[in-house]
Amino acid sequence: MIKRIIYFLCIGILFFTTIPAISFFGDDEAVIWQGTRNNYFKYVAQDTTAFGKNDHPVVLKEQEIKAALSTLEYTKKKLLGAETITPVFSYSQIQLLGQHLTTGLKQATPEQDIIFVIGGKSKKLLILTKSTFLAGRAFYKSGKLNIIIGEFDFPRNDALEKVLDPGDTGEIAYSFDFGSRTSASRSLKKMALIGIPGVMQKKIQNKPRPDWFEIDLKSAAAAALAKKDESGNPDGLNQDKALAREGEAAKMARERRAMRAEMARLRKAVKQRTNDSSTSEKRIEERITTLDQLLEKKLISQEEYAIKRKEILNDI
């Protein structure tokens, strides 16, 4: 009896320790995905109910999320009035967001948000980069994907990690701002979002929030595709047409090279024939001159001279 109880206890422990966290539909703090200690997607309760419940669960297309997020860019004013353009998300961050938001929102409840932290790199000086984190929250409401950025280019503290983790056993746990519906993130206060069809900044008291995006996925994904075609092809051609055009141009270039080579060969042949003709005429003149000298010296008869001269002239 005791052995049977121990057996079922072991089975129960094995089941609950191996089942993925995401399978607990609706559990707050359940992990959707975790890479390192500071790279993860989790469920949390809404930070406030003042805006109403979310439209969860919802089935979204991963590729549309990725395409839409690729359009998001900020402009930031620098010294002397200069401006820089910065993508909101890096390529690797877009891949993670597309994959895990699609999975997470499919199982989220109306009272839940998804929070995320993703590591990345940002420019420091010229070609130098620094390790950073991006943190925020996401949810779906009124037909739009909402993303609120809490931390943008949050620096990783290498010095602190060396002190708190001298054995380099793993990253220290940072405290992140995941964005809030009620207060704007200070990390984006000097940034301005570049206008993209399908992407709006949430307005609170008629003021746009630079950290809160409302994204119509279909419109933004279509805008991303159009932008890709335009930037990749100055004439506004799609990629397939551009490749076909490049192939046709290469073919014409090859044909021109072949034509030039053939013309050069013909010129060389004509020149060779001219040279051969001149040489042949010169040799005939020399042979007749020699024949004349032989007749003059009476080394050949008049009859022999006539026969030989006729043979030489027949060679022309």
Residue-wise pLDDT tens digits, 168-195: 566 688 899 999 999 999 888 777 888 7
Preceding omega of 57 cis (within 30 degrees of 0): yes
DSSP letter for each residue of 250-308: HHHHHHHHHHHHHHHHHHHHHHHHHHHHHHHHHHHHHHHHHHHHHHHTTSS-HHHHHHH
Residue-wise pLDDT tens digits, 65-83: 999 999 999 887 766 666 7
Per-residue pLDDT at 249: 54
Is residue 9 predicted with pLDDT exceeding 50? Answer: no
- Rounded to two decimals, the pTM is 0.63
Indicate the pLDDT class of residue 12, thresholds 50, 70 and 90. very low
Is residue 2 predicted with pLDDT exceeding 80? Answer: no
Residue 40 C-alpha from the chain's centroid: 24
Indicate the pLDDT class of residue 22, thresholds 50, 70 and 90. very low
DSSP-based helix, strand, coil % in the chain, nearest 5: 45, 25, 30
- From start to end of the chain, where are the E strands? 31-34, 40-45, 73-77, 83-87, 112-123, 129-141, 144-155, 191-193, 199-204, 207-215
Per-residue pLDDT at 256: 66
Lookup: tokens for 73: 């860019």
Residue whose C-alpha is closest to residue 44's, from 168, 176, 232: 176
Residue with tokens 């699609």: 102
Q: Which of 35-49, 123-137, 259-273 has the lowest mean pLDDT?
A: 259-273
